[in-house]
Chain A
Amino acid sequence: MEICGGQTHSIMKYNLPELLPAKIRLIHGPGCPVCVTPLEKIDKALALAAINEVTLTSFGDMMRVPGSSGDLLGARAAGADVRIVFSPLDAVEVAIGNPDRMVVFFAIGFETTAPANALALLRAASLKLNNFFLLCSHVLVPPAIRAILSSGNAMIDGLLAPGHVCTITGYREYAEIAAEFNIPVAVTGFEPVDILRGIEAVCLMKEEGRHEAVNRYERSVTREGNLLALNSMYKAFTVCDMTWRGIGRIPASGLTIRDEFSNFDAEKQFKLEYINTAEPEICIAGKVLQGLATPDECEAFGTVCTPETPLGAPMVSSEGACSAYYRYKQSK
């Protein structure tokens, strides 16, 4: 299993399964933070975007993810001030350049992106901005892996650890997971040759009965990670329980804004009415994200749920398992 949307995307883009022997099956894990962002957060983003004074800034990935009724792209078409940015620091610039607007940044991501979101918050704080806010939805990878492996349901023989998450966090914790669950782990990059090296390392370890974490993304990852980035992240955020869309509540698997920065917390600073979230019942995204079902086992797959009319996030995101399957299915 790989737990990184970027790796899922690369696997799809280069159709690696076509090159691998049939004995090796790749299962796509919940590595797409877009896919696991709770429905409630998306509904909150939509509610914020609907406020006249608010400029909602977001990564492009989130624009087409369906909330309970509509998505951010639809909100923009209906007149909301929704802007795509490539960096949370760009969102800070929007706030600086538009002092009469309340700029909210939809801050999602794993440990690769959380430090950047933190940096934006810290910058806004140091510049004493009063019109910049974060709507946070951060998720941590190791607790999710533990939750999936503990459930004992998914048949996983090896893990490809996310290379850019590990660039930030290092891979000590993955070594602990390897030992605890008797599973080989390879820290893996994103180019096809990187992914193949990761798969090779996992297979070799499995054959030798070794349950360790090895680094196959040596050009970017060190065992300790980037301490400065981690410092930024924990200066702005603190660990909290988190609900993963489709999977459920996983303790200590998320990050939220520290109390001393609560005046930058969009959820605390804006009065958002009670949001009635409603997931389409037919969507089995949760099972797919945990590797318990394949997308084509879903009733709605390819019929009611397609990339043009997605019911759940894994069909929208270019890294979601459902959208990946949809493309493969077409080629058969």
Chain B
Amino acid sequence: MEYSCPSPYNEYDKILLAHGSGGRLSDRLIREVIINELGDACLDSSHDGTVLDIPGRVAFTTDSFVVSPLFFPGGNIGDLAVNGTVNDLVCCGAIPQYLSLALIIEEGLPVNELAAIIRSVADAARKAGVRIVTGDTKVVEKGKGDRIFINTAGVGIVPAERDISPTRLKDGDEIIITGNIADHGIAVLATREGLSFGTDVISDTAPLNELAELLFAVTRDIHVLRDPTRGGVASALNEISRVAGKEIIIEEAYIPVDPQVMGACEIMGFDPLYIACEGRMLIFLPEKWSDKVLKVLKAHPQGQNAAVIGRVSNGKPIVKMKTVIGSTRVVDMIAGEQLPRIC
């Protein structure tokens, strides 16, 4: 098929139910918009599924993306859909290889928005070095979906010497965060209708595989990797503490936060520890490697604000934080959505 026009699909400007029905219109949508936009990020478009030849230990993960609004400063749902799954694989210690892409589109979504999202999927996939190898497209009636939902599943290869697991945490391990926290959550909130404030904050959505490979080049003795998405750093630390059965203590003064993000959190009564990141990683590793790893991270554009924020110790599973005034408080699991506070 040859398409000279970058956006050849000009017959309908909105997605219709018929686009998901499996007939001619569906076929055209998939070929002319989705596969066309994916370009070389897409391995093989002709079958229901793809047969892959993957040696060794395979990491497998899936994630669904339902963000609203779809487009926000720093990216869109397409970026999240790729980077989110790539990062989950990275946090297994894997080298991400292949992704599936499943779309559930609400009737009425403008085609050019779909095209822009798929273009972002393609760009993100290329940047992360992964190929989209299989996918699915469905359309639901207006009102039955929030414009578009995306699911991606991913597989990656875990090199033999890597063993990432909370059970490997040891007393004395240090905790590094690779950059400023809460950027993504604030960027999204600033765009939502009804919240009238202006910031320059952009989402930190990004693939973490380059940073991870830099890490492993320093040492293979990395115990845990985690990307703190929904629920933020606090939730990720609580989960790890619980599974590992260890106490975690972090220091408020060392946690990197952009001043504008801090300002936005203060205005809304949010605690940045509970706000999502989409391109940051928590690294748990033996103390003796911290300095070297930090140096290597800070030399990379994605890791410039990397910092050691705490450590692991034996004790009941709990997350504590030493505040800027020297006292210690518990950082617990959040109950439900964090709601903007005015009190």
Contacts and interface: CB of A to CB of B under 8 A. Distances in A.
Is there direct touching of A and B in the complex, by C-beta distance under 8 Å?
Answer: yes
- The size class of the interface chain B forms with chain A is 20 to 34
Contacts of B196: 90, 93
Given A307-B335, A308-B335, A34 B327 contact: no
Interface string B295-338: 00000000000000000000000101001011111101001110
B253 interface: no
A84 interface: yes
Nearest to B320: A331
A332 to B, nearest CB: 10
Given A14-B323, A15-B323, A330-B318, A86 B329 contact: no
Interface string B22-46: 0000000000000000000000000
Contacts of A12: 329
Given A15-B323, A328-B330, A331-B329, A61 B267 contact: no
Nearest to A93: B196
Interface in B4-23: none
A206 interface: no
B320 A19 contact: no
B194 A94 contact: yes
B40 to A, nearest CB: 42
Contact of B329 (A15, A193, A317): A15
A331 B328 CA distance: 10
A254 interface: no
Contacts of A18: 327-329
B340 A13 contact: no
Contacts, number: 82
A84 B325 CA distance: 33
Contacts of A256: none
B327 A327 contact: no
A192 B342 CA distance: 19
B342 A90 contact: no
Contacts of A5: 343
Contacts of A33: 343
A13 to B, nearest CB: 7
Contacts of A59: 340-343
A86 B268 contact: yes
B231 to A, nearest CB: 14
Given A73-B336, A86-B268, A319 B330 contact: no
Contact of B339 (A9, A19, A64): A64
Interface in A283-332: 306-308, 317-319, 327-328, 330-331
Contacts of B340: 59-60, 84, 86
Given A86-B195, A317-B343, A14 B329 contact: yes
Interface string B230-269: 0000000000000000000000000000000000000111
B335 A113 contact: no
Contacts of A210: none
A51 interface: no
A60 B339 contact: yes
A134 interface: no
B267 A86 contact: yes
B342 A61 contact: yes
Nearest to A317: B343
Interface string B109-148: 0000000000000000000000000000000000000000
A318 B318 contact: no
B309 to A, nearest CB: 18
A9 B269 CA distance: 11
Contacts of A14: 323, 325, 327, 329
